[in-house]
Structure 1
Amino acid sequence: MKYLDISVVTYNSEKWVKPFFESLLRQNFPCSCIRLYFRDNGSVDGTLSLLKELANKFSSQFLLIHIDCGGNVGFGEGHNSNLRRVESDFFLVSNIDLEFEASSLEVLLKTAEEDAPEVAAWECRQKPFEHPKHYDPVTSETLWCSSACVLFRTAAIRKIGGYEKRIFMYGEDVELSYRLRDHGYQLRYVPKSVVWHHSYEEPNQIKPLQFLGSTQANVLLRCRYGRWDEVFLGFCMYLGLFLVPSQFPRQRRQLFFGFFHIIRRAPFFLLTRKKSRRKFGFRLWDYEMTREGAFYEHSPYKQDAPLVSIIVRTTPGRSGRLREALTSVDAQTYRRIELVVAEDGGDSARQMVMNHAGCGRFEGVIYLPQAKVGRCIAGNAALAVATGELICFLDDDDLFYADHVEILVGEWLKNKKLGAVYGLAFEVKTKIKTYEPWVYSNEVYSVVYRQKFNRALIWHHNYLPIQTVLFRRDLYLKHGGFDAQLDNLEDWNLWVRYSLHDDFLMVPKVTSLYRVPCASTQAVERQKVLDDYYSKAQEKHSELRVELSPTDVLKMAEDLSRELYLVNVPAHPLRALALRTPGIRSLYHPLRHMYHLLRKARGRSRS
């Protein structure tokens, strides 16, 4: 059995100490293999006495509990103090204000032991608010790891000298991550290793210490890892903070002292600039592209989770894309999944799918090789055999983030009358170098659709990328599957039929991505095809019937007008105003009569 060393820094953390210990004791990973190192940074509440009390109480259950105390040396330097005592191959840095799920450490350590030697850090997923930064859904590689709960390879973190002691608090985890990458190491995100981090009392909470510390650190990190224009921009951004409205008392005063802190330390960071040619991200005050939904709040399921069927459509000659899509399905944090793969035009994917069937990850795996029948009929074959209460599609060139199914199912469980639930998605402009092998680069990420459900609008045009939607299987049983006559926009036709009588719900978080051509010529050609099929789809929709009251029709017309037009001024109030205005009132009816005569004349000339 491997041993694990855990480092914790405390400062006036009394209320978190007991829950932290209790969550460790509930771990599947044996506490007898854990060494706990606490460094208290001068707490003035009961933190230190409670630590000693619990250390005595639980000393027989842990391999070691060591407590050190002293002045407030900062977050990173506190962990550096513990690092000097570490004996095991892996070193877990953890906040005190969090609780581990039962499998957290077991999953995290297993992932690290199986990973390549060049990987140096593995970050846990945080709940109830997941950190919104982007990570690669296929490789789980990330550009920086939050130190709220992260596992390090001890040899790697010692090699680079631990945390930067000149950053007191906030930003030190990004700097350490960048320094690891500057030395050639890789970093991973492990969504299946979950901790409940009690960092925010409410969504969008402003914490003065975090605001001040993170802005100062951003400028200093730019001095070490940014281009020269990014360094200059960092100073400009900081000075610009003096012009924005204050979010907490004495904000400008604290910013003033913070600026002198930056000036005093900037020369050292400029003299110790990066050694490699790696690019390090700076996006204003962020370091990496973020996924919308920073304060989407996760909650544990309160009932049995339903089976979800994930339908993947593919064709021969797309093995690289299919492999990535299936990897993103395998990475799902939701457990009850049935995988259905329909291959249109051959059986080249058989072995790949069977490998996933043998991994024991899914409750069922169904492989459907087809003659060349088209993706609609292939998709319908998959729908016919799927047994899940809920269904979602993942075409082979799209990807799920690890929490996609978990989040959508969680929202549906709150209201099972919903016909479908859908999340936001990145549209990724992709430059393809070769198809087989699958070699590409992702150039631009953007969220194109973030529209809340509007029945009139979805009947007007499609704003639901196919992989974003999780729907009830009984909608398929009632309305059928894809229309085989639509080679494109077949998903739009499906959503129109499924929304005739059932509501959908949008979840405001990015949980998936879909690819579009990067080259403008390809994008134009693709749009032409979609435009051609738009009229064909509309013809199909004209055959549908739905019963609506006059009030429903008026409301839908108002909703559609409000969504489609930037400026929407109702005619009735304007007409009433005109009729109340002297002068205009005398001209209104003659002009209106003339307008109708011209319309009739135009109609006769056309006939």
Structure 2
Amino acid sequence: MRLEGSPARISVVVLTYNRADQVLDTLARLAALPDRVHIVAVDNASTDGTAARIAARFPFVELVVAPANLGAAGRNLGVARVRTEYVAFCDDDVWWSAGSLSRAVEILDAAPRVAVLNARVVVGAQGAVDETCERMRESPLRSAALPAPALIGYMAGACVFRTDVFRQVGGYEPRLFIGGEETLVSLDVLSAGYEMIYIEELVIHHHPSALRDSAQRRRLLARNAAWVAWMRLPLPEALSATLDALQTMLTERSPLRDVPLLIASIAWALSKRRVIGERVRSMRQLVLDDDARREAETDEPRPFRSTRIE
């Protein structure tokens, strides 16, 4: 337990864009937590008056206004303002449960090899557990040296980081914008020798906003998966991810808009190429093999990569 009046050891970075009502509700819930936290709100250049409303209602929240909509990289601006050892993230339609952030500090204090904690996400008023979290709970990556199942990916809006590790790997790549942006960070965290784990007792609530473009998200996910594969994965996987992206763009009827950018940016991705080592390849293969086994048993696709709360 932290003594009353002692400085916060964990910050929360909240990312928002044009969802003023949702982010005000989220900030109110975070401000009411018993946990001692420093709150940073990053407004991704909203056009609906979000920044002014945050400043008026929550003067104690550190407000950062991005110069443009940076997508996931807006979180980097928030982390630049963080002065605590640990940093939690959530989006504007997501909030942490009471006690979870204090418990995250205790877990990270006791596990120096662990750099990222993924919380259990409960969705909507009924509190159903997010399917990705169910898969994380079943992760085949188990070790007596870790307090919980290890992961190869995490959810950007439901995680806690060691602040220095987030900075060490460079945060989110601006060019990816949004859609599977966690994958590159995950691979770099693991390549640096750290672990990511799923912690069931950490709870975060997600009440999905209706303000989203699902078709655009599918296209960005596919495009970014291809770019990340060229940056970090072996050649066969890079080629496969590119073919998958092309197929998605054809399915979404957006090839004239998306394919030239996808292909033209492969050269950029190759300029950043650092293929993952044997340890990370082995971890990924164990998870992929486990996914394939479960899919064969259920006759249903069971994707388990990195996922973002939408």
| Pair 27,208 (structure 1): closer, same or farther in 2 beyond 3 Å | same
Rounded to whole Å, the distance in 1 between the matches of 2:265 and 2:295 is 38
What CA distance in whole angstroms lies between the structure 1 residues aligned with 2:253 and 2:282? 29
> Aligned partners of 1:217 and 1:5: how far apart in 2?
28
In structure 2, distance between residues paired with 1:26 and 1:119: 28
Letter in 1 for 2:94: L
Cα displacement (A) at 1:273:
2.1
- Partner of residue 252, structure 1: 253
TM-score by length of 2: 0.79
Residues 359-374 of structure 1 aligned to structure 2 (within 5 Å): none
> What residue number does 2:5 align with?
none
Which contiguous aligned blocks of 4+ residues in structure 1 show a shift greater than 4 angstroms? 280-283, 447-451
**CA 1:206 to 1:191, structure 2 compared with 1: closer, same or farther past 3 Å?**
farther
2:15 to 9, 24, 30: 9
Q: Which residue of 2 aligns with 1:46?
A: 49
CA-to-aligned-CA distance 1:328-352 (integer Å, 9 cap, x gap):
xxxxxxxxxxxxxxxxxxxxxxxxx
- How far did residue 280 of structure 1 move? 7.5
1:71 pairs, out of 53, 67, 70, with 67
| Cα distance in structure 2, aligned partners of 1:240 and 1:212 | 10
Greater RCO (CA < 8 Å, at least 6 residues apart) = 2
Give the residue type in structure 2 aligned to 1:145: Y
Name structure 1 gaps, 5 residues minimum.
60-64, 245-250, 290-427, 429-441, 452-507, 511-607
Separation in 2, partners of 1:5, 1:73: 22
Q: For residues 263 and 168 of structure 1, do their structure 2 counterparts lie closer, same or farther at Cα, with a shift above 3 Å needed?
A: same
Shift of 1:100: 2.2
Residue 146 of structure 1 contacts residue 174 of structure 1 at CA under 8 Å; is this kept in 2?
A: no
SS in 1 for 2:89: strand
The residue that corresponds to 2:115 in the other structure is 120
The answer to whether structure 1 residue 103 and structure 2 residue 106 are counterparts is: no
How far off is 1:4 after superposition? Answer: 1.4
**C-alpha distance in 1, partners of 2:296/2:260?**
41
SS at match of 2:218: helix
Larger radius of gyration between Structure 1 and Structure 2: 1
Deviation at residue 53 of structure 1 after TM alignment: 1.7
SS of 1:37's equivalent?
A: strand
In 1: Cα distance, 2:41 partner to 2:84 partner: 16
Matched, 1:240 2:235: no
Amino acid in the other structure paired with 1:222: A
Q: Quick one: distance in 2 between partners of 1:42 and 1:217?
A: 23
Aligned length: 278
Instruction: Give 1:160 shift.
Output: 1.8
- Residues in 2 aligned to 1:67 and 1:280: alpha-carbon distance in whole angstroms: 41
2:22 corresponds to which letter in structure 1? W
Q: Please tell me whether the aligned partners of residues 219 and 248 of structure 2 are also in contact (alpha carbons under 8 angstroms).
A: no
Quote how far apart the aligned CAs of 1:70 are.
Answer: 3.3
Conserved? CA contact 1:163–1:173, under 8 Å: yes
- Once the two structures are TM-superposed, the CA of residue 164 in structure 1 deviates from its matched residue by 1.4
Offset of residue 274 of structure 1? 2.5
Q: Which amino acid aligns with 1:43?
A: S
What is the CA RMSD across the aligned residues, in angstroms? Answer: 3.0
- Cα offset, 1:200, TM superposition: 6.3
CA distance in structure 1 between the partners assigned to 2:238 and 2:282 by the alignment: 12
Alignment CA distance shift 1:97-1:280 (3 Å): farther
Does 2:281 align with 1:279?
yes
Match of 2:225 among 205, 211, 218: 218
CA–CA distance in structure 2, aligned partners of residues 137 and 226 of structure 1: 20
Aligned to 2:150: 141
Match of 1:174 in 2: 183
Q: CA deviation at 1:107?
A: 2.3
Q: Partner amino acid for 1:446?
A: R
Q: Would the alpha carbon gap of residues 5 and 267 (structure 1) be closer, same or farther in structure 2, given more than 3 Å must change?
A: same
TM-score by length of 1: 0.42
Query: Aligned residue for 1:94?
Result: 90
User: Structure 1, residues 177-232: CA drift from partner, whole Å, max 9, x if none?
Assistant: 1111122111111111111112365xxx9712321211111111111222211111
Give the structure 2 partner of residue 207 of structure 1.
Answer: 214
Residue aligned with 2:174, SS:
coil
